[in-house]
Structure 1
Amino acid sequence: MAEATKALDWEEYRKWLFDNKSQIHAKYTFKSSRKYHHLAFSHELVLMPQSRKKLDVLKGLANLTRFLDIKNDTEFHDEFTKWLKKKEIKWRINVKSKNYWMANNVSIEKIVENIRKLPEKYQIFAMFVLVSGLRTSEAIDAFNNHDKICHNGILEIFTDRNTKKTNAVYCHPFLHDKINFKISNTGTYRNLNSKYLGCEIRYLRKLNYTLIAMKIDGMMAQFMQGRKGDVSQRHYFLPMMSQNQKKWNKLWNKILKS
C-alpha cells in the first residue's frame, strides 16, 4: 500500500471524497487520510489508545483504501478490514464509560462559564446549541434560518434523515434578538473546540436532554431531541411545548443569567 500512496494523486482523492461525502465529512476525512496514511497495517496503529482521534484515523484509512481499490483494482480495503479484525481494533470507543465520566466531571455551570470566554458570536451560538439540544449540523441550519422557522418562541424544524429526526425546540428570549448573523461549519468547529468548551460540542445535547427530562418532562425532552414523535404528531406535542414554555424559560434563565 505504501507504493500505491506514493503514486496517489491526492487532489483526485480529495475530489472523490467531496463528490461522495458531505462537505464537512470530506474535509476531515481527507485531512486524516493524508496525515495518517502511513499508519495503515502498522504496529503503531494497533497500540494507539482507543479514542476519537483513533476513530478519525480509521475512517481516513478506510476511505483511502476504498479509493485505491476503485482506482487501481486492488483489494486494500478488504485486507485492511480483515487486518483490523485480526488485531482486534474496534471501530467504537466505550461510549457508556465516557458518558459516565463526563456526567461526573463536567457540570452545566462549568460549560456555561467556558462558553462565556468565547468570542461573542460563538458565545451566542454555543448557548443556542446548549439550550436547543440540537445536533451540531441541525443547530447551524436552525440558527442560520432562525427568522424563517421561529414562531412565538418555538423553532418548528421537523426533518427526518433516516435514523435522525428533528422536531421542534424552544428559542430562548435571551438569545432570540441576538441571532442576527450567520454561522459557518468551519468557524463552529474551530471556536467550539473541546479545549475551549471543556467537552465536545455534541455533549451539549446530552446536557440539555438530562436537564429537560429531569426538571420538566421526559416525554417532551424526547420529542425535542427527535427521539419520539414526528411531524404527524405535532398537534399533540406543540401544545405541550406551549404549556411548558414559561417553565422552560425560567429554568434556563437561572443558568444563562447566573
Structure 2
Amino acid sequence: MKDRVKRHARSMLSYAKKYYPLAFNDNLVSMPNNRKKGSILRAIALITRYLDVKNDVGLHDTFIRWLKRKEIKWKCDSHTSTYQIAKRIRLEDVISTLQGLREDIKIASTFALVTGLRTEEAMGAIASHDNLCQDGIMELFWDRRTKKANAVYCHPLLHDRLKALKGLTLNALKKYWPRHVSFQFKMLRKVNYTLNVKIEPLLAEFMQGRTGNVSMKHYFLPLLENNRQKWLETWTPVVRQILEPKV
C-alpha cells in the first residue's frame, strides 16, 4: 500500500513539474478529455493546494473557479466532440503556439491549419506540392469510402516555403508534436472548419472533403475560385502572424 502511494505521489509530482504551465492556460481547454488530462488536472490541483498551505495565497480556489468558468470537467468523457472543443480554443492561442515551433514544423502545421487537411493528408500534399499546386489551388484525390476528392488553397505566404520544405517526415512530426504542443494536431483541422464555415459553409465542407464523390468536385471547384479573396482576407493575417511575428 505504501509503495502504491509513493508511486502515485511521484507520478503526480512528475506531472506537476512538466505541466504546471498549463494552469490558467487555454491550451488546457483544448486538450482531449482523456485520462492524461485528468492526471494533469489532479497534479496541478495538488501543486496549487501545496502552495496554498505553504504560502497562504489562495491559488487552489482560484484554479478551481477557473476550471468551472472554462467548463473543464474532471471526469473523462470519450464522447466529447472535438468540434465543440475547437470552438473553445482561442485562435490567438493557436497562433502563439505555432509561432514557437521549430521552423519546418511551423510551416507544416500552418499549412494544415489553413487547409483543414488531416495529418497524413497534409504531409502527403506537402510532399507532392510541386505537382499538385496549380495557380494556388491543390486538387486532391483519395481512395477511401468516406472521402474521394477535395481541393484546398495554397496560401501565397506558404507557397515558396512549402517548395523549400524538405526532409520532414510524418513520423518526425508525430514524434515532435506531443512533446511541444498541448493539443492534438488534428485540432488544427477543427479550428480550420470553424473559420471557413463563416466564409461559406459549402466551402468549409468541400475543403475538408465531406461533399461526396469525384464528380461533385467539378461542381465545387468554381465555389473555391469564387471565395478565394474572402479566404485570403480571413487567413492572411493568421498566416502572417505565425510566420512573420512582430518583434
> Quick one: higher RCO (CA 8 Å, sep 6+), 1 or 2?
2
Q: What range is the shorter-chain TM-score in?
A: 0.5 to 0.7
Q: 1:169 to 1:162 in 2, by over 3 A?
A: same
Aligned equivalent of 1:144, options 127, 136, 148: 127
1:213 to 2:201 alignment: no
1:111 to 2:94 alignment: yes
When the two chains are superposed, the root-mean-square deviation of aligned CA atoms in Å is 2.1
1:176 to 2:162 alignment: no
Question: 2:134 is matched by which residue type in structure 1?
Answer: H
Can you give the 5+ residue segments of structure 2 that lack an aligned partner in the other structure?
Answer: 1-32, 38-76, 242-247
Shift of 1:223: 0.9
Work out whether residues 154 and 168 of structure 1, in 8 Å CA contact, stay in contact via their aligned partners in 2.
yes
Aligned partner of 2:62 in structure 1 is none
In structure 2, what is the Cα distance between the partners aligned to 1:103 and 1:52?
22
Aligned partner of 2:84 in structure 1 is 100
Work out whether residues 124 and 178 of structure 1, in 8 Å CA contact, stay in contact via their aligned partners in 2.
yes
Aligned partner of 1:201 in structure 2 is 185
Runs of 4+ displaced beyond 6 Å? none
Work out whether residues 133 and 208 of structure 1, in 8 Å CA contact, stay in contact via their aligned partners in 2.
yes
2:152 is paired with a residue of what secondary structure?
strand
Shift of 1:124: 0.4
Aligned partner of 1:155 in structure 2 is 138
Shift of 1:181: 2.4
Work out whether residues 86 and 191 of structure 2, in 8 Å CA contact, stay in contact via their aligned partners in 1.
no
Question: 1:186 is matched by which residue type in structure 2?
Answer: N
1:220 is paired with a residue of what secondary structure?
helix
Q: How many residues align?
A: 168
Work out whether residues 133 and 204 of structure 1, in 8 Å CA contact, stay in contact via their aligned partners in 2.
yes
Aligned partner of 1:187 in structure 2 is 172
Question: 1:238 is matched by which residue type in structure 2?
Answer: L
Higher mean displacement: 247-256 or 168-177: 247-256
- CA shift digits 1:230-249 (9 cap, x unpaired): 32122211111111112111
Work out whether residues 166 and 224 of structure 1, in 8 Å CA contact, stay in contact via their aligned partners in 2.
no
Q: 1:101 to 1:142 in 2, by over 3 A?
A: closer
Work out whether residues 147 and 212 of structure 2, in 8 Å CA contact, stay in contact via their aligned partners in 1.
no
1:130 to 2:113 alignment: yes
In structure 1, what is the Cα distance between the partners aligned to 2:233 and 2:149?
24
TM-score by length of 1: 0.60
TM-score by length of 2: 0.63
In structure 2, what is the Cα distance between the partners aligned to 1:203 and 1:166?
21
Question: 1:198 is matched by which residue type in structure 2?
Answer: S
Shift of 1:154: 0.6
- CA shift digits 1:140-181 (9 cap, x unpaired): 100110001111111101213122444111110010000122
1:178 is paired with a residue of what secondary structure?
helix
Work out whether residues 146 and 212 of structure 2, in 8 Å CA contact, stay in contact via their aligned partners in 1.
no
Aligned partner of 1:243 in structure 2 is 226
Question: 1:232 is matched by which residue type in structure 2?
Answer: S
Can you give the 5+ residue segments of structure 1 that lack an aligned partner in the other structure?
Answer: 1-49, 55-91
Q: 1:120 to 1:169 in 2, by over 3 A?
A: same
